[in-house]
């Protein structure tokens, strides 16, 4: 009997357990739905805050305190808008009287059918003319705002720190700027000249219908408009999410395309054309799916809007037709009601598009304003003045730094570079050589210690003056997609041809340039791809020489050159360094054997310091590096 009881209770226990599991699952599902609802509400609230923030930021461009002419144009444009809408609201009344005159239901004392028809035509012409004049008056305001915001964004991006630019995606960034700037003019134009006029026109028509007919006509119109607006806003909110996803996929595809094209040579080296095409196609496939969903939702929105407007139109027309049959209304009244309903459907039909585009413009501009609010890691201190470089003495005092706080690169660097002295930094990869150069140029601020030039902490002076005092020849010279003349002249604004040619001769590239069919007007291509590595490097050296800075930073400046060319460039660099403080970051030790002093770095610390001969005689770290490189060159 006991066994029977146990076996009988087991199914009951299983059933109870399953019931508990189902209850727990239902509870978990309810919690998940509630969490999703809270997340959606939080996202919606954030979007509203973002939209209000964007409108607040756009306001000063529309009503700037220091630009009275902008305010005058806005006021004139609004006046023309109001005038156009008032004329438009009363135009159907002229149409009604013209019809009643033709049907014999109006007094002969009126203008007559022809006169009323002409008056109707003039009213429509004036309404359209005032709207076009409004656009002409406002266009300068919109274009000014677009230009100013584009310039602010472009300038801000250049002021952002190197840390930001290392992690950015060029393609995605360009799309954010492009969409955001386009959204400025759209928002200014359509928020002011579509939404505001729409409500003004609806108000005028509602008043005319109420006083000309009765409250039921007004009630049908109000219900129709209310249903239309609610349907439009709800569906558009859904579509905005789909559009945002489509933009995300569009940005991703564009970024992949630009990234692949910028790395054209690498793609060729590895025969990866098909791989890149497949990668781009996958991104475009995601964009295609998102675009199809967006297009389908637009079809649903358009059909729903048409259904609601048509229903309201039919109801009002039926009411008017019954009124004509009973004798309460004239044929002109019937035509006027129809004219007003059609007049309402045009702006309402545009409302869905305008609202969607305004929401999208707010989203796009929100991304751009997020970019504008991106903080700068390195900024000028309040009251910072220009640096004064009289001698060019550079000092590093207990400098500590790490790109990641958990991974320090420099661990207490002490280094002095005297006026007119030539000092080379050597050491294995990761020892901190290039980091020192970046800190000197103030791409980053030191984490500890200080860097001074002629006794001035570089954090206490303006970045513009600091950058003007230091000339840099990087390891990999990147050129603008312009002429050789433009790229050399980039070293000094308004440089003369004689100065450009002198710099090119000093960099030993003048003879090569004049041998080209187009000479200094030769296009160098994207990132200078039409030139060899050595030619690009010489152009980079020439523009730095043209800059003529008191301090010169050579970041492995001859690494891209062959041995013979390197020797020639070294001669040019020595001449360029005369009378200047020169800090050289070197990998090939043979290029810095005759500098005034060599500083050997390892693991972010100075381990040796002295002349080439002194360091070799010590038999330390430098001597080992020298022996290894010499052995490698002999083997080669």
| pLDDT tens for each residue of 111-122 | 677 787 788 788
Query: Average pLDDT, stretch 370-384?
Result: 80
Rounded to whole angstroms, the Cα distance separating 564 from 115 reads 93
Give the chain's radius of gyration (CA, Å). 37
Rounded to whole angstroms, the Cα distance separating 501 from 508 reads 10
The answer to whether residue 46 scores a pLDDT higher than 70 is no
- Stronger pLDDT, 206 or 584, i.e. the higher one: 584
Query: Average pLDDT, stretch 429-457?
Result: 90
What's the pLDDT band for 4 if we cut at 50, 70, 90?
Answer: very low
Query: Average pLDDT, stretch 212-232?
Result: 86
End-to-end Cα spacing for the chain: 95
Evaluated on CA atoms 217, 220, 224, 225, the torsion sign reads: positive
Pair 186, 361: CB distance under 8 Å: yes
Sheet containing 581-585: order of strands: 470-473, 551-555, 581-585, 422-426, 597-602, 605-610
Query: Average pLDDT, stretch 140-159?
Result: 79
* pLDDT, tens only, 241-265: 887 788 888 888 888 888 888 888 8
Q: Which residue has the tokens 């030790």?
A: 589
Q: Could you give the angle at the alpha carbon of 427 between the alpha carbons of 426 and 432, nearest 5°?
A: 95
Q: What count of Cα atoms within 13 Å lies in the side-chain half-sphere of residue 522?
A: 21
pLDDT reported for residue 557: 67
Query: Average pLDDT, stretch 160-166?
Result: 66
pLDDT reported for residue 49: 55
The answer to whether residue 130 scores a pLDDT higher than 90 is no
As given in the structure block, the two tokens for residue 585 are 């970051």
The answer to whether residue 305 scores a pLDDT higher than 50 is yes
As given in the structure block, the two tokens for residue 409 are 């690169």
pLDDT reported for residue 398: 94
**Range with lowest mean pLDDT among 181-195, 310-324, 452-466, 549-563:** 181-195
Question: What secondary structure does DSSP assign to 522-568, as a single string?
Answer: -B--GGGTTS-HHHHHHHHHHHHHHH--SEEEEESTTTTS-HHHHHH
* pLDDT, tens only, 315-349: 988 998 888 888 888 888 888 888 888 877 777 76
* pLDDT, tens only, 358-376: 777 777 777 777 777 777 7
Q: Could you give the angle at the alpha carbon of 527 between the alpha carbons of 525 and 533, nearest 5°?
A: 95
DSSP state of 460: G
Rounded to whole angstroms, the Cα distance separating 136 from 120 reads 25
Q: What are phi and psi of 317, to 5 degrees?
A: -70, -35
Residue of 191, 290, 186 whose CA lies nearest to 245: 290
- Stronger pLDDT, 405 or 24, i.e. the higher one: 405
pLDDT reported for residue 41: 52
Q: Where are the beta strands (DSSP E) in 402-483?
A: 410-417, 422-426, 448-453, 456-457, 470-473
pLDDT reported for residue 5: 45
Residue of 47, 76, 91 whose CA lies nearest to 244: 47
CA dihedral 47, 48, 54, 57 (to 10 degrees): -140
């Amino acid at each position: 009997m006991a066994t029977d009881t146990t076996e009988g209770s087991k199914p009951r226990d299983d059933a109870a357990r399953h019931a508990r599991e189902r209850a727990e699952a239902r509870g978990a599902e309810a919690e998940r739905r509630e969490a999703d609802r809270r997340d959606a509400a939080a996202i919606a609230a954030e979007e509203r805050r973002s939209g209000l923030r964007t409108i607040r930021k756009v306001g000063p461009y529309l009503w700037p305190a220091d630009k009275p002419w902008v305010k005058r144009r806005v006021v004139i444009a609004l006046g023309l808008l109001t005038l156009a809408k008032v004329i438009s609201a009363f135009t159907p009344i002229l149409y009604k009287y013209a019809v009643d005159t033709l049907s014999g239901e109006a007094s002969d004392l009126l203008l007559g059918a022809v006169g009323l028809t002409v008056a109707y035509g003039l009213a429509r012409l004036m309404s359209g003319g005032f709207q076009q004049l409004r656009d002409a008056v406002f266009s300068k305001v919109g274009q000014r705002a677009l230009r100013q915001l584009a310039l602010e964004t472009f300038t801000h991006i250049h002021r952002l720190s190197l840390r930001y630019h290392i992690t950015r995606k060029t393609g995605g960034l360009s799309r954010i700027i492009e969409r955001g700037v386009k959204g400025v003019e759209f928002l200014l134009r359509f928020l002011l000249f579509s939404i505001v006029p729409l409500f003004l026109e609806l108000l005028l028509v509602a008043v005319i219908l109420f006083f000309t007919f009765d409250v039921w006509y007004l009630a049908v119109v109000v219900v129709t408009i209310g249903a239309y607006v609610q349907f439009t806003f709800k569906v558009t909110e859904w579509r905005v999410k789909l559009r945002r996803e489509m933009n995300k996929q569009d940005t991703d595809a564009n970024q992949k395309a630009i990234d692949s094209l910028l790395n054209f040579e690498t793609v060729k080296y590895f025969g990866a054309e098909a791989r890149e095409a497949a990668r781009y196609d996958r991104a475009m496939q995601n964009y295609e799916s998102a675009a199809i969903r967006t297009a389908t939702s637009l079809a649903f929105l358009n059909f729903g809007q048409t259904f609601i407007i048509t229903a309201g139109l039919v109801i009002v027309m039926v009411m008017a037709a019954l009124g004509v049959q009973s004798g309460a209304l004239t044929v002109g009244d019937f035509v006027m009601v129809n004219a007003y309903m059609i007049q309402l459907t045009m702006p309402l039909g545009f409302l869905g598009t305008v609202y969607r585009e305004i929401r999208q413009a707010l989203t796009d501009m929100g991304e751009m304003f997020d970019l504008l609010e991106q903080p700068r890691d390195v900024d000028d201190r309040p009251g910072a003045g220009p640096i004064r470089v009289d001698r060019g003495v550079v000092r590093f005092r207990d400098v500590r730094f790490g790109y990641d706080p958990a991974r320090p690169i420099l661990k207490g660097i002490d280094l002095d570079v005297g006026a007119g002295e030539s000092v080379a930094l050597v050491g294995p990869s990761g020892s901190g050589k290039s980091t020192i150069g970046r800190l000197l140029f103030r791409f980053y601020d030191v984490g500890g210690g200080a860097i001074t030039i002629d006794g001035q902490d570089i954090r206490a002076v303006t970045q513009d003056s600091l950058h003007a005092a230091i000339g840099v020849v990087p390891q990999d010279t990147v050129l603008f997609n312009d002429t050789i003349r433009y790229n050399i002249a980039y070293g000094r604004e308004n440089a003369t041809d004689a100065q450009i040619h002198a710099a090119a001769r000093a960099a030993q590239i003048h003879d090569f340039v004049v041998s080209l069919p187009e000479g200094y007007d030769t296009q160098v291509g994207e990132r200078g791809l039409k030139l060899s590595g050595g030619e690009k490097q010489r152009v980079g050296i020439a523009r730095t020489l043209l800059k003529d800075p008191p301090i010169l930073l050579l970041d492995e400046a001859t690494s891209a050159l062959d041995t013979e060319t390197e020797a020639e460039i070294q001669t040019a660099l020595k001449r360029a360094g005369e009378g200047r403080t020169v800090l050289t970051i070197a990998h090939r030790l043979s290029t810095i054997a005759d500098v005034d002093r060599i500083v050997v770095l390892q693991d972010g610390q100075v381990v040796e310091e002295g002349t080439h001969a002194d360091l070799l005689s010590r038999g330390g770290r430098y001597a080992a590096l020298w022996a290894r490189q010499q052995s490698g060159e002999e083997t080669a």
